[in-house]
Structure 1
Amino acid sequence: MELFEGRPTDCQGRLAKEIRVYDFLDSLGIKYQRIDHEALMTIEACQEVDQLLGAMICKNLFLCNRQETDFYLLLIPGDKKFKTKDLSSQIGSARLSFAKENYMEEFLDITPGSVSILGLMNDKDRKVRLLIDRDVVKEPYIGCHPCINTSSLRISTNDMLEKIIPAMGHELTYVEL
Structure 2
Amino acid sequence: MKLENGRPENTEGRLEKEIRVYDFLDKLGVEYQRVDHEAAMTMEACEEIDRTLGDGTAICKNLFLCNRQETDFYLLLMPGDKPFKTKNLSAQIGSARLSFAKPEYMEKYLDITPGSVSVMGLMNDTEGKVQLLIDEDVMKDPYFGCHPCINTSSLKIRTSDLIAKIIPALKHAPKMVKLPGAEEQQ
TM-score scaled by structure 2? Answer: 0.94
Structure 2 stretches of 5 or more lacking a match?
Answer: 180-186
CA deviation digits over 1:103-162, x for unaligned, max 9? 000000000000001000000000000000000000000100000000000000010011
Equivalence for 1:118: 120
Distance (Å, rounded) in 1 between the aligned partners of 2:6 and 2:59: 20
RMSD: 0.5
Distance (Å, rounded) in 2 between the aligned partners of 1:163 and 1:63: 25
Distance (Å, rounded) in 1 between the aligned partners of 2:117 and 2:43: 11
Report the residue type matching 1:40 in the other structure.
A
Report the residue type matching 1:19 in the other structure.
I
2:146 aligned with 1:141, yes or no? no
2:58 aligned with 1:56, yes or no? yes
Distance (Å, rounded) in 2 between the aligned partners of 1:48 and 1:2: 11
The aligned runs of 1:6-21 (5 Å cut-off) are 6-21=6-21
Where do 4+ consecutive residues of structure 1 move more than 3 Å? Answer: none
Distance (Å, rounded) in 1 between the aligned partners of 2:146 and 2:166: 13
Native 8 Å contact 1:47 1:57 kept in 2? no
Distance (Å, rounded) in 2 between the aligned partners of 1:163 and 1:57: 19
Secondary structure at the counterpart of residue 149 of structure 1: coil
Structure 1 stretches of 5 or more lacking a match?
Answer: none
Which of residues 81, 96, 99 in structure 2 aligns to 1:97?
A: 99
> How far is 1:57 from its partner?
1.6
Native 8 Å contact 1:117 1:144 kept in 2? yes
Report the residue type matching 2:9 in the other structure.
T
Distance (Å, rounded) in 2 between the aligned partners of 1:19 and 1:156: 20
Percent of aligned positions with the same letter in both sequences? 71
Secondary structure at the counterpart of residue 143 of structure 1: strand
Equivalence for 2:88: 86
Report the residue type matching 2:51 in the other structure.
Q
> How far is 1:60 from its partner?
0.3
Distance (Å, rounded) in 2 between the aligned partners of 1:68 and 1:41: 24
Distance (Å, rounded) in 2 between the aligned partners of 1:73 and 1:47: 22
